[in-house]
């Protein structure tokens, strides 16, 4: 199946705490969906980085990128769906309702040789 066959794809759910690495280690905060949202992703939606739009608690619609997968640098054993909204929020929004629409595929998941290399990745 073509990896773009299931796009656009809409997902929504509550924002939960992730591993805390996006903000603390990389300076790139991400909003994490629950494992239930990830479990319900279409089977033909491959792991990788996607672009689209996001909305938090019915606020403004903002551009975003979403990473879906196991984050090879960290050797995760649980598949995640993490969204980086291209906007500066005044505070964390754990517990908020997040809606995203994935419009396109940017690239495959990549492994990095160091945290510094990961922090300078390109979408």
Which positions are catalytic?
82
Q: How far apart are CA 67 and CA 73, in angstroms?
A: 13
Residues 6+ positions from 114 with CB-CB distance below 8 Å: none
Q: How far apart are CA 98 and CA 13, in angstroms?
A: 6
The residue behind tokens 């975003």 is 64
CA angle 43, 48, 28 (to 5 degrees): 130
Q: How far apart are CA 50 and CA 106, in angstroms?
A: 5
């Amino acid at each position: 199946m073509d990896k773009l066959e299931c796009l656009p794809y809409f997902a929504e759910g509550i924002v939960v705490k992730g591993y805390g690495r996006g903000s603390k280690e990389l300076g790139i905060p991400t909003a994490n969906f629950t494992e239930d949202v990830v479990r319900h992703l279409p089977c033909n939606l491959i792991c990788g980085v996607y672009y689209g739009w996001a909305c938090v608690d019915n606020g403004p619609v903002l551009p975003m990128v979403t990473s879906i997968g196991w984050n090879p640098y960290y050797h995760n054993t649980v598949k995640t769906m993490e969204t980086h909204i291209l906007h500066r929020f005044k505070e964390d929004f754990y517990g908020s309702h997040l809606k995203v629409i994935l419009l396109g595929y940017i690239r495959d998941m990549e492994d990095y040789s160091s945290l510094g290399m990961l922090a300078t990745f390109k979408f």
